[in-house]
Amino acid sequence: MFSPDIVGHQALRQRLLERLQGGRIRGSLLFTGPEGIGKRRVALELAQRELCLRRCACGECEGCRMFSGEELPFELPNLLRITPEGKAGVIRIDQIREGLDSNNQPRFSRGVIEWAALAPAMGCHRWVLVEEAHRLNESSGNILLKTLEEPPQDTHFILVTHRPEALLQTIRSRCERIPFAPLIPREAWAVAQRNGWQEADHERWSALGEGSLRFLEEATFRRAEAQVEAWLALMGGRSFGESADPLLPEKESTLAQGEQLRQPLELLLRLLADLARIRAGEAPALMPWREGLTALATPEWNLKAPQEAALQALRHLPRNLSPEPLIREVALSIGAETK
């Protein structure tokens, strides 16, 4: 009864299926958990199973083929997908109200509220999947509220996010939260191997991924790897000009600058947490970098200042338009030479 393409979360998927079959699943769900662990894919499985000719999301039949391919349509017979748009990477009010993209071109035939109120296909529910739901702005979030509170019969909203704290509190209160745990490391690595990863990268890939599939693309992984090395270099006294390039946004990236800055700041917090672990006589989570971390874990090295600087920077990311000064300020807090 389950898609063979999804790794992990078996018990949770079983509970969702049983509740759906018993008519006990709420109209608005909030899937939360770390980034890249399969929350979106589990949400899609609920809709795919209903169109599957074998009713199991087999991945082979005509119904399942609608869910395959590199570009999943925004609208399927029982599924509507809402995703962030444009360079700013937000879900805007016109996407909810009119189904338009960033160029004001139709993505699907009706606005979300009108689509959700239509009668579902025979034997199906209607599913509205809001991907990266933390990218809803205040206006688009507010227009969803009434429908989230009282969804039409046989219609279910699933909001997927790894940052539930960024959602409006009124949205969180109207959804049942379904928490997802990270994948078991061997499950994540099995997926990586199917995607061409070799054993030489196993230790670093697993340490950085923390049970997620965020770094399946090699370029994404190599950038995260370079960011860890950059922070270690800055902590070790290297200058900002020599070391900081991997920490700054890539101009050609389609991601907003704020979203690009989030990863290096979060990696810094992980490194600082590992320094505290080493001081306490514990093993670091980022074990492949243990040697470099151990050299920095001296008692006189202040951890509190860079932790506070990184957390402050993360809080201000949505409003910050000057990435280099922000990273320089954080680097200064760890004693780096900022020339």
Confidence tier at 217 by pLDDT (50, 70, 90): very high
What is the tens place of the pLDDT at every residue in 245-300?
A: 999 999 888 777 888 899 999 999 999 999 999 999 999 999 999 999 999 998 77
The Cα–Cα gap between 220 and 224 comes to 6
Q: What is the pLDDT of residue 101?
A: 58
SS (H, E, C) 184-198: CHHHHHHHHHHCCCC
pLDDT at 182 over 70: yes
Kindly report the pTM of this predicted structure.
0.88
Confidence tier at 323 by pLDDT (50, 70, 90): confident
The Cα–Cα gap between 66 and 280 comes to 52
The Cα–Cα gap between 290 and 244 comes to 21
Confidence tier at 85 by pLDDT (50, 70, 90): confident
Span 83-93, average pLDDT: 80
Q: What is the pLDDT of residue 87?
A: 67
Which of 95, 165, 168, 94 shows the shortest CA–CA distance to 129?
Answer: 95
Query: What is the identity of the amino acid at 37?
Result: I
Confidence tier at 168 by pLDDT (50, 70, 90): very high
How many DSSP H helices and E strands does the chain contain?
15, 6
Q: What is the pLDDT of residue 337?
A: 60
pLDDT at 209 over 80: yes
Q: Are strands 79-82 and 28-32 parallel, antiparallel or unpaired?
A: unpaired
Span 210-235, average pLDDT: 96
What is the tens place of the pLDDT at every residue in 41-57?
A: 999 999 999 999 988 88
What is the tens place of the pLDDT at every residue in 107-141?
A: 766 778 888 888 887 888 999 999 999 999 888 89
**CA angle, 16 then 79 then 148, to 5°:** 70
Q: What is the pLDDT of residue 99?
A: 65
Q: What is the pLDDT of residue 131?
A: 94
pLDDT at 305 over 60: yes
The Cα–Cα gap between 122 and 104 comes to 32
Q: Please state, rounded to an integer, the average pLDDT across all residues of the chain.
A: 89
Long-range contacts of the stretch 117-124 (C-beta < 8 A, 24+): 117/152, 117/155, 120/78, 120/154, 120/155, 121/50, 121/51, 121/77, 121/78, 123/50, 124/47, 124/50, 124/51, 124/77, 124/78
SS3 217: coil
Confidence tier at 1 by pLDDT (50, 70, 90): low
Q: What is the pLDDT of residue 258?
A: 81
Q: What is the pLDDT of residue 147?
A: 85
Instruction: Return the minimum-mean-pLDDT range out of 150-154, 189-193, 262-266.
Output: 150-154
Instruction: Return the minimum-mean-pLDDT range out of 17-31, 38-52, 54-68, 319-333.
Output: 319-333
